[in-house]
Amino acid sequence: MGKLINGEWKVRSIITSNDSGAYDRLPRTFLDTISKKDKLFQPESKRYHLYVSYACPWACRTLIYRKLKQLDNHISVSVVHPDMLEDGWMFDSSFPGATEDHLYGKKFLRQIYQKADSKVTTSVTVPVLWDKKTETIVNNESSEIIRIFNSSFNELTNNYEDFYPMSKRKEIEKMNQLVYESVNNGVYKSGFAQTQQAYDSAVTQLFTTLDYIDEILSQSKYLVGDEYTEADLRLIPTLLRFDTVYVTHFKCNIRRIIDYPNLLRYVQDMLLIEAVRQTYDLNHIKRHYYFSHQQINPYRIIPKGPVVYP
Ligand SMILES: N[C@@H](CCC(=O)N[C@@H](CS)C(=O)NCC(=O)O)C(=O)O
């Protein structure tokens, strides 16, 4: 694992922590948008490309939206190998489901970042939304890429389904903030904590929120009402990794999803959505976490189980 500093690859741990040993996520770098009003990035068919990992919960959000919004034929995809080692994400199609870099035949994802900006200082993360025309990264922040997919290509696809409807925006935002802090990022804060105190605090916050969500789901089908919205599509990739990875690998073991009646029902309902099911790959998920994070799993042994999960 590593980071680009002024365009040069420096090997370093993925576990970045602050003074109290709490995991600190680095901010993203490329934050442009695609819109008819944008001078540079216009919505066009076959102009954009996604670089993703099936293991990564953030990248899977963008894959889910690509399918839901019928963008499959308009936005192409390359999938990295699940192992993220000293060289960071790499392209190697020997693992089923992983692909070559379809655009440039590069070996490493960092070379795509370097192509966008030869002097960039950044983490090399997935997802990446790439513009084939100007040969640069439009955006590498999943929460923004899904908003772009939600609305910018509607005229092209004739799909006007809206997962961020005006009438529910306030509630969705509130839910997103809680879920991001304590669940999406909470599992990483638990797993990458370097002090007992940092772990205790993250894991407690995580399960307080899961208890609260289970309560909400006893009253309504989805997080914000009876139709699924962006809030659900941001949460589900984390829940789909919970019982197989986060419970053991990240020590999020106070309860499992299958112990929560409403959360279990909810995950099963979300799995009925084709776009969610088709982008869920347990082989990539298990291999990535258990094999890549050698600091917390030194012998890289991938557990066989569990037999039962949502
Ligand atoms: N905030 C980013 C987070 C993306 C992210 O952290 N992706 C992880 C994979 S799950 C990654 O690529 N990590 C590599 C690194 O941090 O060096 C997003 O939502 O797009």
- Distance CA(291)–CA(213), nearest Å, equals 31
At residue 17, the pLDDT reads 73
Burial (0-12, 13-18, 19+ Cβ within 10 Å), 19: exposed
Top CATH class of 166-273 equals mainly alpha
At residue 200, the pLDDT reads 98
Is 231 within 8 Å of 216 (Cβ atoms)?
A: no
Question: How many helices and strands, by DSSP H and E, does the chain display?
Answer: 12, 7
At residue 16, the pLDDT reads 72
At residue 12, the pLDDT reads 80
CATH 1.20.1050.10 residue window(s) in the chain: 166-273
At residue 27, the pLDDT reads 64
At residue 23, the pLDDT reads 81
Residue of minimum CA distance from atom 15 in ligand 1: 125
Phi, psi (degrees; rounded to nearest 5) at 95: -90, 125
At residue 28, the pLDDT reads 64
Burial (0-12, 13-18, 19+ Cβ within 10 Å), 173: middle
Tell whether ligand 1 has an atom less than 6 A from the beta carbon of residue 14. Answer: yes
CATH 3.40.30.10 residue window(s) in the chain: 2-157
Ligand 1 centroid to Cα of residue 128, in Å, is 10
Torsion of CA 303, 124, 142, 257, to 10 degrees: 20
Q: What are the structure tokens assigned to 257, written together?
A: 């999803």
Domain spanning 2-157: CATH 3.40.50.620:
no
DSSP-H helix ranges across 117-259: 142-151, 154-157, 169-179, 186-191, 196-219, 230-241, 247-249
Q: What is the pLDDT of residues 186-224, one digit of tens each?
A: 999 999 999 999 999 999 999 999 999 999 999 999 999
Go through the chain and tell me how many residues it has. 310
Count CB neighbours of 127 within 10 A.
24
Ligand 1 centroid to Cα of residue 41, in Å, is 23
Count CB neighbours of 274 within 10 A.
11
Tell whether ligand 1 has an atom less than 6 A from the beta carbon of residue 58. Answer: yes
Phi, psi (degrees; rounded to nearest 5) at 51: -105, 125
Indicate which atom in ligand 1 lies nearest the CA of residue 143: 19
Burial 37-60 (b: 16+ CB within 10 A, else e): eeeebebeeebbbbbbbbbbbbbb
Question: Which stretches of the chain drop beneath a pLDDT of 50?
Answer: none
Block residue for tokens 């309560």 = 215
Residue type, 8: E
